[in-house]
Each structure stands twice: as structure tokens, then as C-alpha cells.
DNA sequence: TCTCAATTTAGAATTATTCTAAAAGTGATT
DNA sequence: AATCACTTTTAGAATAATTCTAAATTGAGA
């Protein structure tokens, strides 16, 4: 639980993100120690709920910056909306299709024994296992 | 290679899809025996290239119908566009991020040893492994 | 406090997709 | 072949997620 403002500022500084108002506010919503999978709309609603005044464009800007800086992981599990994942450690996902919701699967709950040889000149950026249920 | 028109009509009939003009035309483009991952735009371009006159809406309709009938598998690997996969057998994917392109990985090239226990009342719809490279 | 680049914002623009409703096609029946 | 009921196709409008633009605001350092 990194709840205090000092920790949030520190987190942003460590990632070379200037700790501005809405960045601190959104970081405070997201990085409370609990793993989350949020959409842009989720964040807008969370911000409204806590009287944080911001704009749609700023939420997009901020989530995209956080993802680019490695504070969030973007998860593409369906064509429409993007999910942003606060859990940065290696893990996999259940996707509840009817609820349009992700849930983490610990990395050691799935044992991948062998990986295929890669095309020439390529390196693995990620190995994502999605179990649709 | 199921190239002749009789086979295409047969395929559509077996899946309870009326073999109309554009359905036969699009099926002819897609089901030539080679595995493909196509976007709607790909199909529109392919159709243009073979002088098949159709509309954007019809390509969407047809690909969605084919996917609903089990003739195609929809693959969601990034937020923007959907891919439609003509390979219906169990397999996984390399995703070439810079080229925005999918490539099949044979199912037995990845050995998944254990799966986590499912949430109550849920059944697995699919297990998708995507290796981003 | 002043300055100026970075940030935030409202609204326009873009992109993928779906919807609407009218025209065209299909298959069965006379 | 003509009719009929229904399905499909289509152009264009509508929707939804996201990005862009350009102007206003902020804030870190001088
Ligand atoms: Mn939501
Ligand atoms: Mn393409
Ligand atoms: Zn996760
Ligand atoms: Zn495939």
C-alpha cells in the first residue's frame, strides 16, 4: 500500500514523470497496492467519485504516459477498449467474457514447458496467456 | 485447397449459411487451404484486387457471420482492429508488433503443463497464448 | 515575481465498427 | 416465367474509443 503523497511523488520521479496535479491524482487512484485492470472510463468514474476534476483527454494522456513509462501495462483482450493493468509482475489472465472483466492468474499457476524458436532477429517482448471463460 | 465453387457452396451449406454472391466470393478469397489472419481492410483490398464488387458493410456482415458460424475465429491482439483467423485448429500466435501481423505457432510447440482452477460455474472457452515479438 | 516550456483541456478529427432503411437478390410456389 | 415472402446487400448515418489541435493554465527555475 503506497498511499501517502510522498510515495506517489517518489514513484513518479523514479520513472521520470513530472508529478503534476492530475498525474498524482490518477496515480493515487491506481497505485494503492491492489492489483487493478482499469479502462479509461473506469478511471474517469473513479476520479469523479473522488471529486478530482480532470478531462477525458488528460486521462488518456496520463494512462498512455504511465504505460509508456512502465508504470502500467496495457492489456488488449478485445477489440474495443484497452485495459490498463497495475500488476507489472509476470502473470496471466482469466477474461470473463460476459462481464468484460480481467482477473489475474499467478505466473506459476500455468507451467509453460517449451517455447517455439523465434523468427530471426526477434526477441520476446511478452508471453501472454489469456483464458477466456 | 478447397478452391472450386462446389466446395465453397458445400462449406457454406454445411454451416447453415446461405451461399449468396458475396458470401461465396469472400469465402473463395479466404478458404483456399492456406492459413490467414485478415482484417476487414485486408478483405476489402483482396476483393478489389479480384474485381469483386461489394461494400464495407457487407464485408463486416460476412466476416461476423462466418465467425459466429465457426468458419472463422476472431483474434483480439490489439485494441484497434480485429483479426479473423482461417486456422480453426488449436494453435497459438506470434504477434509481430512492428508489422501488426500474426503468425501461427503449432499447438504442440508450446507445452502448457498445468492450468489454474477455474472460478465457480465457469468453463474454458479458449486458451490463447500470444508471444509478442 | 517573471518567464517559458510542459501540461491540461474542450472540442474537433480519426478510425473501427455497427445501425438503418431502402434496394436488390433468392428460393419457393404458382 | 411471374409472383411472393423473405433475406441479403448497400450507402450512408450513427456510435464508440481514441488521438489530435490549439488555446489556456500551471509550475519550476531565474
Ligand atoms: Mn468500466
Ligand atoms: Mn491490412
Ligand atoms: Zn493483470
Ligand atoms: Zn492463427
Q: Among B77, B96, B116, select the one facing A105 at the smallest CB separation.
A: B116
Q: Which residues of B touch A123 (CB under 8 A)?
A: 133
Predicted structure pTM score: 0.93
Query: Mean of the pLDDT values across residues A71-83?
Result: 96
pLDDT of residue A3: 72
- Can you give the distance from the CA of residue A53 to the C1' of nucleotide D13 in angstroms? 34
Q: Could you tell me if A60 and A40 are in contact, meaning their C-beta atoms sit under 8 angstroms apart?
A: yes
CB B109 within 8 A of CB A119: no
Nearest CB to A111 within list B112, B125, B126? B112
pLDDT tens per residue, range B56-75: 999 999 999 999 999 999 99
User: Is CATH 1.10.10.10 the classification given to domain B5-132?
Assistant: yes
Mean pLDDT taken over chain B: 95
CA-to-CA distance for B24 and A106, rounded, in angstroms? 45
| Helix, strand counts (H, E) of chain B | 4, 6
Under a CB-based contact definition with an 8 Å cutoff, are residues A94 and A85 in contact? no
Amino acid at each position: 500500500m503506497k498511499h501517502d503523497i510522498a510515495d506517489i511523488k517518489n514513484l513518479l520521479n523514479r520513472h521520470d514523470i513530472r508529478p503534476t496535479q492530475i498525474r498524482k491524482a490518477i496515480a493515487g487512484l491506481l497505485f494503492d497496492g491492489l492489483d487493478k485492470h482499469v479502462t479509461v472510463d473506469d478511471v474517469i468514474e473513479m476520479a469523479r467519485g473522488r471529486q478530482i476534476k480532470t478531462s477525458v483527454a488528460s486521462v488518456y494522456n496520463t494512462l498512455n504516459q504511465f504505460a509508456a513509462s512502465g508504470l502500467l501495462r496495457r492489456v488488449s483482450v478485445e477489440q474495443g477498449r484497452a485495459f490498463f493493468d497495475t500488476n507489472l509482475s509476470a502473470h496471466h489472465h482469466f477474461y470473463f467474457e460476459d462481464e468484460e472483466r480481467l482477473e489475474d492468474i499467478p505466473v506459476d499457476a500455468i507451467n509453460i514447458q517449451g517455447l517455439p524458436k523465434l523468427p530471426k532477429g526477434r526477441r520476446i517482448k511478452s508471453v501472454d496467456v489469456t483464458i477466456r471463460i
